[in-house]
Structure 1
Amino acid sequence: MTTDTISPVIRLNPADNVGVARTAITSATAIAEGGETVAARADIPSGHKVALRTIAPGEAVLKYGQIIGTATETIAPGDHVHLHNLAMQESHATHHFAEDARETPLLPEGERRTFEGYVRSDGQVGTRNFIGIVTSVNCSATVARAIADHFNRGGGLDGYDNVDGVVALTHGTGCAINMKTEGYLYLQRVLSGYARNPNFAGILFIGLGCETNQIDPIVQKFGLTEGPLLRTMTIQNLGGTRKTIDVANGIIRDMLPEANSAKRTTVPLTGLKVALQCGGSDGYSGISANPALGYAADLIVQHGGTAVLSETPEIYGAEHLLTRRAVSAEVAQKLMDRIEWWRRYTEHNGAELNNNPSHGNKLGGLTTILEKSLGAVAKGGSMPLEAVYEYGEIIDRTGFVFMDTPGYDPVAVTGQVAGGCNVIVFTTGRGSVSGFKPAPCIKVATNTEMYEHMSDDMDINCGDIVNGTDSIEAAGRRIFEKILVVASGEHTLSEDFGFGDNEFVPWQIGAVT
């Protein structure tokens, strides 16, 4: 179609009583959709909703063929539908467990794609070749950063061109926490999970020495084996800052020759675990980039890889679309158990699951968490849900899986990388500039205006889906191909900027005493 034959709004389902503006619509513009024509009664910003028929007070507002809230007043055809006339309602979706259960439709082995990765001694496959410094407590953060700076900025990596860098994984916790709480367990999982992530060739644990979160129990509990490529130390035992830095520099220098000798080889996609993320979403996220990523996720799974959806508060109201795809009732129930945990958690903390959308989401046209969730879950594609993991658990199944995390992107990605993800794909409508070392992060724009405005940060544009000149399938294949070349070593734009040193954010739950 030519652009002048395309409706100025997108109606995502025939049942919908609202459409989404492809571009900004000025008041009095004629909107032809579904055989009817209405006139815009106000200026409608791009990505925002416009009523296609009369919606009575208390009546459900439908988008994607699903309820996203209720009208708080009479909404006339052509009205702008947003915060002033649309309210959140409690989700009462009907949950069907494993109703659509089926085996994952894998391609024949001879037809499956491969990539070039680093095969580690435990059989995992890395897409990058870093050395990591894992801090047990915030008290060792400055020392860890000084060590990393010596190698990254002070010439310590000269002659080791195959090593991508030294990453200081610093955080704000590790002491004054109850050792019996979920927060303590999550921290231990995350630190041990990063130590296992295949994008690290070597790991050095550094603690202060007197903290609650001791290193030795982590090593023992999670079956980590000390050796040339996994070492531990504490600042107090070594005699302070300077001595610790000197010893640590020597340890990492000893790791470098073996790390540098690692070579990429051709490996199947069973070695690929892709974290599916969205942040800074807008009204186009669930129309363009998210479903395109979902299409790419399906391809990853069909070729034998793993796609990992997360952000539990941002699937709230759309979880019924996942439970019916679960491979068993037990998997579906585990997802519902995590939803129920979030209900109790938010209530206990004087919050609610509808603490979203954020300010930027609202400016971009999203009104309620139900609307946001329906768009966010599109990243998960259509494959069977094989497993549900708690935060930071090791992902030991291939296929499409879910990990329970907060909706806050750095915390969510930290859990996914701890679980073993070695590539991240991050869709955004408002713009995001994060990186997540040691995993490369591919940024996917939902709209062309933002893609062009932030071209230094966006790797892929899905905005042409909105104007009708691109398709979800074609964009999804571009994302899939980009994942394979990035997994094989091609840099993303966030990597070129050096992002990723500050986005390691373990989920901190519980009282700090």
Structure 2
Amino acid sequence: MNALLLKIDPRDTVAIITEASRKGDVVDGITLLSDIPQGHKVALRDMQKGDEVIRYGVVLGYLLEGVKKGAWINENSLELPLQPSLDALSFKEPEEVVLPQPKRTTFEGYANPNGGYAGTRNILAITTTVQCVSGVVDQLVKRIQAELLPQYPNVDGVVAINHAYGCGVAINAPDAVIPIRSIRNTIKNPNFGGEIMVVGLGCEKLTVDKLLSDEENTPENVIILQDYPGYGSMMDALLAMAEA
């Protein structure tokens, strides 16, 4: 692949090279004076010590030494500019933004039964409470794809919402709210059609009640694997819930 130099703003004194290149290569008419890694800066003209290095129209810093056109400019080449104090900054009212009228105001979607956002896919999502059930759920997904989805052409697919959380964690720690909230919100993805299917183990710290409301936490929506005597009965129950 041939390298290019990307210059974004007319004021720029350096450009970004798109591919790693060797000393002596000629890129966009500039002969490189050293090997230059991909994504790094190349001097577009001769510059003196103290000159501004400008990229995207912004001053990145000032040259510690003079350079020739085609030189590699990196963090070791620059003295960073001083950050202005807040008192030295000026502010102005933002200009009014007038957005163009859209050419289309509709899309092919469906309203979720819970009144949430509209979905554009019809996907069965299986959410896990703990990583310990991920292996069973992964096998379940394969069974659903092979045995159930062919019977329901209106269903676009099935996905396992696996995660490395839930077992042996400090579930009441202040920041535990972050992964719990993330999983809870994923369950409500509009492409899941308002349907809930949660698979737990039975001894994890992240219990189902932390993910679902009392109205959602029902036998129609939740399976706890330790309630079943073996893999076969677990899979039968999971497949039955998935089909329902």
TM over 0.5: yes
Does the 8 A contact of 1:129 with 1:199 survive in 2? yes
Equivalent residue, structure 2, for 1:119: 111
Deviations 1:116-164 (A, max 9, x none): 1222122411122110110011111112112111111x32212211212
Equivalent residue, structure 2, for 1:185: 177
CA distance in 2, matches of 1:219, 1:88: 54
Secondary structure of the structure 1 residue equivalent to 2:190: coil
Equivalent residue, structure 2, for 1:218: 211
How far residue 80 of structure 1 moved from its aligned partner, in angstroms, is 2.0
Is 1:163 the counterpart of 2:150? The answer is no
Decide which of 211, 223, 238 is 1:248's aligned counterpart. 238
Unaligned runs of 5+ in 2: none
Does the 8 A contact of 1:27 with 1:44 survive in 2? no
Secondary structure of the structure 1 residue equivalent to 2:168: coil
How far residue 90 of structure 1 moved from its aligned partner, in angstroms, is 9.6
Decide which of 44, 51, 54 is 2:43's aligned counterpart. 51
Is 1:145 the counterpart of 2:138? The answer is yes
Secondary structure of the structure 2 residue equivalent to 1:233: strand
Is 1:208 the counterpart of 2:201? The answer is yes
| 1:272-311 mapped onto 2 (5 Å cutoff) | none
Deviations 1:65-110 (A, max 9, x none): 2244665655333202246x4479699477779856466634447x
Secondary structure of the structure 2 residue equivalent to 1:168: strand
CA distance in 1, matches of 2:163, 2:27: 54
| 1:86-485 mapped onto 2 (5 Å cutoff) | 86=77, 92=83, 99=92, 101=94, 105-108=98-101, 111-121=103-113, 122-152=115-145, 154-201=146-193, 202-220=195-213, 225-226=216-217, 231-254=221-244
CA distance in 2, matches of 1:116, 1:227: 31
Equivalent residue, structure 2, for 1:65: 57
CA distance in 2, matches of 1:137, 1:91: 49
How far residue 253 of structure 1 moved from its aligned partner, in angstroms, is 0.8
Q: For structure 1, which segment, 122-131 or 94-103, has the greater mean C-alpha deviation from structure 2 after superposition?
A: 94-103
Does the 8 A contact of 1:25 with 1:46 survive in 2? no
Pair member with larger Rg: 2
The letter for the 1-side match of 2:70 is G
Inter-CA distance 243–92: structure 2 relative to 1 (3 Å threshold):
farther
Unaligned runs of 5+ in 1: 1-7, 33-37, 255-513
CA distance in 2, matches of 1:22, 1:144: 43
How far residue 251 of structure 1 moved from its aligned partner, in angstroms, is 0.9
CA distance in 2, matches of 1:147, 1:103: 53
CA distance in 1, matches of 2:92, 2:229: 61
Inter-CA distance 30–144: structure 2 relative to 1 (3 Å threshold):
closer
Inter-CA distance 104–170: structure 2 relative to 1 (3 Å threshold):
farther
Which structure is higher in helix share?
Answer: 1
Secondary structure of the structure 2 residue equivalent to 1:171: coil
CA distance in 2, matches of 1:114, 1:97: 42
CA distance in 2, matches of 1:225, 1:155: 27
Secondary structure of the structure 2 residue equivalent to 1:186: helix
CA distance in 1, matches of 2:27, 2:134: 59
How big is the alpha-carbon RMSD for the aligned residues of Structure 1 and Structure 2?
3.6
The letter for the 2-side match of 1:231 is N
CA distance in 2, matches of 1:160, 1:65: 55
Secondary structure of the structure 2 residue equivalent to 1:162: coil
Higher relative contact order (CA 8 A, sep 6+): 1
Secondary structure of the structure 1 residue equivalent to 2:150: coil
Inter-CA distance 97–234: structure 2 relative to 1 (3 Å threshold):
farther
TM-score of the two chains, using structure 2 as the length reference: 0.77
Inter-CA distance 11–119: structure 2 relative to 1 (3 Å threshold):
same
CA distance in 2, matches of 1:90, 1:185: 40
The number of residue pairs the alignment matches comes to 235
Inter-CA distance 15–196: structure 2 relative to 1 (3 Å threshold):
same
CA distance in 2, matches of 1:10, 1:106: 30
Secondary structure of the structure 2 residue equivalent to 1:158: helix
Secondary structure of the structure 1 residue equivalent to 2:34: coil
Inter-CA distance 73–128: structure 2 relative to 1 (3 Å threshold):
farther
